[in-house]
Amino acid sequence: MGLSRADWGPGGFDQFRSDRVEDPVYGDGGDYVDAGSGLPGPVRAAAVRAVILVAVTLVLVMVAVLCSLAQVWLALPMVLVAVAGTVVTTWGVLDVWVTRQMWVQRHGVVSTPSSVARERVLRRGR
């Protein structure tokens, strides 16, 4: 009546082991390997700020709604704070877009390489 290895699916009991070799997050020595997000640093920082602002604004809106439903004196100040938070959050989300556009403009791929770009490629080849 006990469980067999087949009951646990294709990985068997080994799917719960912490020392699996095929774990993509950890390297051979057990050190954390950063796979990278594909986003440049400034864009990633702006995105993190935007996510935090969105989360805080959602909490403020939820508190404002609950205060309004409970008919507490704090409802009006919370609604005003939630409106201000929405404005700030909109700015934060637009900041991600602007930062990305600026990064692409400054570090983007040039379709026709200049002499400086050719020199960089030649130096890397040596």
Q: Among residues 51, 54, 76, 55, which one has the least CA distance to residue 65?
A: 76
Q: What CA–CA distance (Å, rounded) separates 75 from 66?
A: 8
- Is residue 32 helix, strand or coil? strand
- Give the pair of three-digit tokens for residue 32: 């954390």
- Cα-Cα-Cα-Cα dihedral sign, residues 10, 14, 15, 20: negative
- pTM score > 0.75 for this model? no
- Asked whether the predicted pLDDT for residue 90 surpasses 80, the reply is yes
Q: What pLDDT score does 96 carry?
A: 94
- Kindly give, in sequence order, each residue whose CB lies less than 8 Å from that of residue 49, ignoring residues fewer than 6 positions away: 92, 95
Question: pLDDT digit string (tens) for 55-68?
Answer: 999 999 999 999 99
Residue 3 main-chain phi, psi, to 5 deg: -85, 140
